[in-house]
Structures are given as C-alpha cells and as structure tokens.
C-alpha cells in the first residue's frame, strides 16, 4: 500500500505521481489551454473507499467468451452462423489458455505472488478461471450435441459418428483410409525402448490401448490425427463424420497381430506465448525464429479428454504430460470443434446472414465513368472517414497504396505492417513501388502474436525487393496503423496519409469493424512524418499537434480530455465522454472515468471484450453505462468522443486501454479534423446506446445481461450503406 493507503498496483495508475502525470498531459502539445480541472489529492484518495473497484481482467475475458457462446445459443441467429460461433468459442479459449493461463502459471511457478488490481493473487484467479471455463466448456459441448447437431440434421446437414454410417459410407471411408490416411499415420508405442512421445499443442490425438494376444501384456500407443486432412470427412449429400472416427475404426491396420482394446481422443494445450529479449540479441529475426521453435515445446496448461476415457489411460496421460487433475477437462466427443468452421462454410445461404458486399465510400465512388476514382483527387476534395467493412477496404485503403505504387509523381511510401494476409495486394504494391525506384519504408512488427512466422517471411521478401525494412523501437511493439504517401505536385511536395484502427489486411477487413482516416491535412501529415522518422531513425520528437502517441502521450492525453469534461460539467457546459475499445483495463484511465462519474459526467463505454471498470456502483460510477455489441463482424475499432463544452472532438486509433498498449507499444490516435466526421462518430454512439439496440449491458457485479432490442447496430450500418447506393466493389 502507498502512504495514502491506496494500492500500488499497475504502472500508470493514478497513485503513481497523479498530479505530476495530469499536469504533464498539458505539455504534450495536443491541448492549447491549461485544463480547467486537476484532481486534488483528497479526491484521488477517496477512490480508496472502493478497494474492489477493478474487475479482474482474466475473468472479464471469460465473460466475454461466454457472450460469444450465447450467440451460438441464440435461436434467432442463422444456424450456420451459430455453428461458426461454436468454432470461434473454441479458438478463443485455446488462445486464452495458451497465453493468459500460461502466464498465470509462470507467475505462480516463479512465486511472484503479487495481487492484481482486482485484489486477487494469481492462484486465486487461476482457480476461479478453472471453475468458470470448465462450466463453459461443458455447456459448449452439450449445446453442440443436444441442439446444434439435431438442428443441422433437420436442415439436411448431418454430423454423424461411425456407427451411424450406412454400409456404402463405411466402404467409402475404408477406401479413403487405405489410400490417403493410412500412409500418413505414424503410431508411436510407449515401452522401455520407446519413451512417451511429445504431444504438440492443440493437436488431436488418439490414445490406444492394445494387447499382445500371445503374452497377454497390454501396451499404450499414441496416434496423431493428421491436421492436413479435413476435420470432418465429407461423405456426400451434406453428411460428415469426424476424421478420428475413421482412424479409430481402422486401428487394427496400424497394429497388425495385436488386439485393439480401447481408443480415446485427447488434446493438449501448451504455453505458446513468446518471450524474446530483443535488446540482448544481435539479430531480432534470428532470436525470434529460435523462440518460435521453443514455442512448440512449451509446458502443457490443459488436457482435454473424451468422457469415456479409461482411468488407467487418463492416469498415464496425466503423469507423462505433467498436468494436474484440475487441468483435465472431460468432454463428450468430438473434441476440438474449431473444425466447425468448415461446416459453417457450406454453400447454404439460407442458413447464413444475408450476403453483404462492402460498398465503395461515396467520396471515393466514380460519378460518371466506370474507371476507378483518383484517390489523391478525392482526398484533396475532402477528408474521408472510412468505416470497414461497411466501406470497402479494396476500393479505399488498398487502392490508395496501389495507386501510389503506380503513380510516377509519388516519391515515397511509408507504412507500418502489424498483420497482413499471405497473398496481400498491399505487399505486392509496396514491392512494385520499390522496384519502380520509389523510396519505400516498411515498418514490420515481427512480434505480432501468432503471426510471427508470416511477418518474418514478408519482411525478407520486402527486403529482397529493395524496400527499407525496419523493426521499430527496442522494447516496444509497433502496433500503430499508418501509411503515408509523399507526392510531387505543381505547388510542391504534398503528403497523403491514412491512419486506422485496424490492420492492413484485406481479408480481415471484410469482417473486422474498423475506422480509418484518409486525409490530405498537412498538419497530420507532418506529425506522421515525424513519427516515421522516430521509428526508423534516431530522431526523438515526443510532441505532436494532431496525434496522441504511446507510450508518450496517449494515457495522459486522454486523461487530460476527461478532466476537461469534468471542468466543463462544473462550469455548466455540455460534458459527456464516449469511448469504444476492445478492452478497458488501464487503472489510471478507469480511475479518471470514476472521477468524472462522481462529478456527474455521463460516460458511455462500448467494449467488445475485457472491461475492468465496474459501472453503476453507488457513489463511484452511477453515471457510467457499459455495453458490448457482438455479431457477424468483429468489433475492433478504438474511438474516443468528448462533448468538449458543446464543440465535440473525436479521436480514432490503434490503442486499447491496456497497459501493454499504453506503456509497451507504439500506438497512435488522430484527432478527426472536421466536424462532419466527428458527427459521424457521434451517430455511431447514438445508435449503439439506443434503448432499442440489441446489446449486452454490464452490471456492478460483473454480470453481463443481454438486452434484446428491436434493432442491431451492425445491421443498421449495413442498411445505411445499402441506402447510399454506392457502387459495388
């Protein structure tokens, strides 16, 4: 505890030099006047009256994945979309265990018994995680078996087990096994001459108990289900059987002369988070590649087994894998329902969301000719606020980069890449630009979690083409989404800039909800140019006119604006705060929002995933409302809107309200330069918090309750784009 009796929790919290931090915000160069309000020490100390004011971030994430499961359980959604949400639930939980649970286990093993901001020790959090996730995994498996499978069957899509196949289908599977599957399989025995094999993370495996008929001795063997084949074998007429059933029925071919007594599927989740000390490595690429190899051998954190597994076999798995009984989850088969994505991809439009094709933004749509619009001319006519996937990525951001690559007047292109697709036209355009003699700078973040291998490959491809490739700043991930084009024009050099909330990935741009600003604003362009120089060279300019940049000024800048709202409210001026983010965890930001609420400032938070703030707590957060919108698109944008005394301001950018984003990443927020763009952001919040909009609402007890309204935010936005009548992509 600090001298004032406040918990000394995470970096950046209010307790760590609060007045100095708040005053420092006024020197970032973003705000032109001294703030009308700076919290006093007693006001800050009063927050200690609410020691449980922060929800636990890990448990909040579990509640988010519960909301995903509730979408799968929603009978009003199209059936194949519900099936896909079951797959998403599985993959979400896999990553949670690989990263977050693995991290808790590391802290416990290292005896780092530091309480989190929520007041819980790592062991306490881990125990609660297991209670909630085990319940959700059982609920997920039961819903699949008891609801989704029968519902699919009623629609002519049958997910069968081996005993349900007819004779012709069994003969087909026998032939398939003999010709394609059997040659790939490698049974691994366990005996004194054969140690227990390594089980790779997330692989599906069959534990086989066999017996020698001569000696009567029993043996254990493991067979890995090959991931190169479809998870569900198509039998024709939309009938499917799990691949492990086909293998399990033909195990005798793998163990000739032996009796196959039992076969059970199991699956291991391992610690797959990366630990790279790049400042100690001469070559970050080499260090990361080495770490990727180590990842494959991370310690296990979860063992999923079929309910029918033999106790002796389970005891062997537990002993050899080194998991605890708490980490064993018994589930009805089939395990690993990520494969349901293949079922959800079936050509059954009658069981999916109505088709939506992103529209070309009206400012970028050709008026008369059928040829593509000149993006640079459109940007000179006015700033363009893009909202993906409603506005087409291909005819906006992608066309911006492609046109720049082909334009002889373009001198240079500078861009950050955090994640992109394997066949990205963005990459191709940058290569074309470099080969045409343009100066191309690409800042590739090769430490983007689970995309490291892809990013290493593309970094080398860009280097070979002549691009200048840099890897950002030591100790920081570069997560900001920036692209700048330098063009020679009759009146001189002009900068064209794109700043976004999402990655330069044409594939995810079709189903990730994100904002992006295409602008010819020279003040923004100059700021972005300085930032690129900071990232690629030795310059150090921490002051920007139109940007907030982490780790220098995002936290302080946003807190400063929150204080402006408090001051405006005290002065009787319009005051309101509206934030949209994937996660809100940072204690300093949350405490500032609590201070605003205690003053009576209305606060609306639209949060997709983790929210450590407790809304509606008497005396603390009575004016704060927290909502979560989930649906066909993944809500991904980060947006910050402030009433600002009647002259609203809005910011968009890459930063979530988390320690990693505000302290250990390069993040950028840009202030929207026109009132019409700010009004568009305001309309988004109006729709999201409309009482008739379908959403989940958080309560002070960390319980999220679904409010079923008559309208859905995403469907409203789809409808608005259709009504615009813009050209199709």
CA–CA distance from 228 to each of 180, 184, 243, 681 (Å)? 11, 10, 11, 45
Q: Tell the residue number behind the tokens 């996937």, with chain if given.
A: 389
Q: C-alpha distances in angstroms, 459 versus 277, 287, 465, 540?
A: 19, 15, 10, 25
Assess whether 9 carries a catalytic annotation: no
Q: Tell me how far apart the alpha carbons of residues 102 and 272 are, in angstroms, rounded to a whole number.
A: 8
Could you tell me the two tokens for 668? 């950028």
Residue 186 to residue 674: CA distance in whole angstroms: 63
Neighbour-count burial of 187, counting CB atoms closer than 10 A to its CB (0-12 exposed, 13-18 middle, 19+ buried): middle
Longest Cα–Cα distance of the chain, Å, equals: 92
Q: What is the CA angle 625-673-409, rounded to 5?
A: 135
d(CA 141, CA 133): 12
> Do 344 and 80 form a contact (C-beta atoms < 8 A)?
yes
Sequence-separated (6 or more) residues with CB below 8 Å from residue 491: none
**Distance of alpha carbon 536 from the chain centroid:** 27
CA gap 407, 424 in Å, rounded: 20
| Residues 6+ positions from 228 with CB-CB distance below 8 Å | 184
Give the separation between CA 111 and CA 99, rounded to whole angstroms.
18
Q: What is the residue whose two structure tokens read 């991370």? A: 298
Provide the 3-class DSSP secondary structure of residue 513: strand
Note the residue count of the chain. 729
Residue 408 and residue 432: Cα distance in Å, rounded?
Answer: 12
Residue 236, phi-psi category: left (phi > 0), alpha (psi -120 to 50), beta (remainder):
left
CA distance 512 to 638: 12
Could you give the angle at the alpha carbon of 240 between the alpha carbons of 236 and 243, nearest 5°?
120
Q: Which residues pair with 207 in a beta bridge?
A: 222, 264
* Residue 282 buriedness (CB in 10 A; 0-12 / 13-18 / 19+): exposed
Q: From the candidates 361, 479, 569, 636, which is the catalytic residue?
A: 479
Q: What is the rounded CA–CA span in Å between residue 648 and residue 501?
A: 20
Structural tokens at position 660: 């990693």
Cα separations in angstroms, 115 against 60, 107, 301, 588, 671? 16, 11, 21, 17, 36
Q: Tell me 372's DSSP state.
A: P
Query: H/E element holding 231?
Result: none
Burial class (CB in 10 A: 0-12, 13-18, 19+), 682: middle
- Identify the helix (H) or strand (E) that includes residue 68: helix 57-72
Provide CB contacts within 8 A for 711, sequence distance 6+: 690, 692, 693, 694
- Catalytic residue numbers read 479
């Amino acid at each position: 505890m600090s001298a004032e009796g406040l918990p000394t929790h995470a970096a950046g919290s209010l307790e760590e030099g609060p007045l100095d931090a708040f005053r420092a915000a006024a020197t970032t160069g973003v705000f032109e006047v001294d703030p009308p309000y700076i919290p006093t020490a007693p006001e800050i100390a009063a927050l200690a009256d609410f020691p449980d004011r922060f929800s636990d971030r890990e448990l909040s994430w579990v509640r988010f994945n519960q909301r995903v499961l509730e979408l799968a359980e929603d009978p009003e959604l199209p059936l194949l979309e519900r099936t896909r949400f079951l797959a998403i639930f599985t993959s979400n939980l896999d990553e949670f265990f690989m990263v977050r649970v693995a991290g808790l286990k590391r802290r416990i093993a290292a005896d780092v018994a530091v309480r989190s901001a929520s007041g819980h020790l790592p062991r306490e959090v881990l125990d609660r995680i297991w209670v909630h996730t085990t319940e959700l995994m059982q609920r997920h498996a039961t819903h699949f078996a008891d609801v989704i499978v029968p519902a699919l069957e009623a629609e002519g899509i049958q997910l069968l087990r081996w005993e349900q196949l007819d004779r012709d289908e069994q003969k087909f599977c026998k032939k398939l096994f003999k010709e394609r599957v059997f040659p790939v399989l490698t049974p691994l025995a366990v005996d004194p001459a054969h140690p227990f094999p390594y089980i790779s993370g997330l692989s599906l495996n069959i534990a086989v108990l066999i017996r020698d008929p001569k000696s009567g001795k029993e043996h254990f063997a493991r067979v890995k289900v090959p991931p190169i084949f479809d998870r569900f074998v198509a039998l024709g007429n939309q009938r499917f059987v799990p691949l492990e059933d086909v293998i399990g029925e033909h195990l005798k071919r793998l163990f000739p002369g032996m009796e196959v007594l039992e076969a059970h599927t199991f699956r291991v989740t391992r610690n797959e988070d990366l630990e790279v000390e790049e400042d100690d490595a001469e070559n970050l690429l080499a260090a990361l590649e080495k770490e990727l190899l180590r990842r494959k051998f991370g310690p296990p954190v979860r063992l999923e087994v079929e309910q029918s597994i033999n106790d002796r076999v389970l005891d062997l798995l537990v002993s050899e894998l080194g998991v605890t009984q708490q980490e064993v989850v018994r589930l009805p088969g089939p395990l690993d329902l990520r494969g349901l994505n293949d079922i959800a991809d079936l050509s059954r439009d009658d069981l999916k969301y109505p088709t939506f094709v992103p529209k070309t933004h009206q400012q970028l749509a050709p008026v008369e000719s059928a040829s593509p619009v000149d993006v640079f001319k459109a940007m000179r006519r006015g700033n363009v606020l893009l909202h993906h996937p409603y506005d087409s990525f291909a005819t906006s951001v992608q066309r911006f980069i492609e046109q720049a690559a082909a334009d002889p007047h373009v001198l240079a292109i500078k861009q950050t890449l955090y994640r992109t697709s394997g066949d990205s036209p963005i990459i191709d355009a940058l290569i074309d630009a470099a080969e045409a003699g343009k100066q191309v700078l690409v800042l590739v973040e090769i430490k983007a979690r689970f995309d490291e291998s892809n990013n290493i490959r593309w970094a080398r491809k860009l280097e070979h083409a002549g691009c200048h490739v840099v890897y950002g700043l030591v100790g920081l991930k570069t997560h900001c989404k920036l692209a700048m084009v330098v063009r020679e024009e009759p009146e001189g050099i002009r900068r064209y800039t794109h700043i976004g909330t999402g990655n330069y990935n044409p594939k995810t741009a079709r189903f990730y909800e994100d904002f992006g600003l295409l602008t010819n604003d020279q003040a923004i362009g100059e700021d972005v140019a300085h930032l690129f120089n900071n990232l690629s060279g030795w310059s150090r300019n921490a002051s920007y006119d139109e940007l907030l940049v982490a780790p220098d000024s995002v936290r302080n800048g946003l807190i400063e604006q929150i204080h402006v709202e408090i001051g405006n409210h005290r002065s009787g001026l319009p005051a309101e705060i509206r934030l949209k983010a994937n996660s809100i965890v940072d204690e300093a930001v949350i405490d500032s929002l609590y201070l605003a609420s205690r003053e009576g400032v209305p606060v609306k938070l639209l949060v997709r995933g983790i929210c450590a703030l407790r809304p509606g707590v008497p005396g603390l957060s009575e004016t704060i409302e927290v909502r979560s919108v989930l649906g066909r698109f993944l809500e991904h944008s980060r947006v910050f809107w402030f009433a600002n005394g009647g002259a609203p301001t809005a910011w968009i950018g890459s930063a979530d309200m988390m320690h990693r984003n505000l302290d250990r990443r390069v993040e950028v927020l840009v202030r929207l330069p026109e009132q019409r763009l700010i009004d568009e952001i305001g309309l988004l919040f109006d729709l999201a918090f409309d009482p008739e909009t379908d959403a989940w609402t958080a309560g002070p007890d960390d319980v999220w309750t679904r409010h079923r309204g008559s309208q859905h935010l995403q469907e409203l936005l789809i409808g608005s784009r259709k009504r615009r009548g813009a050209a199709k992509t």
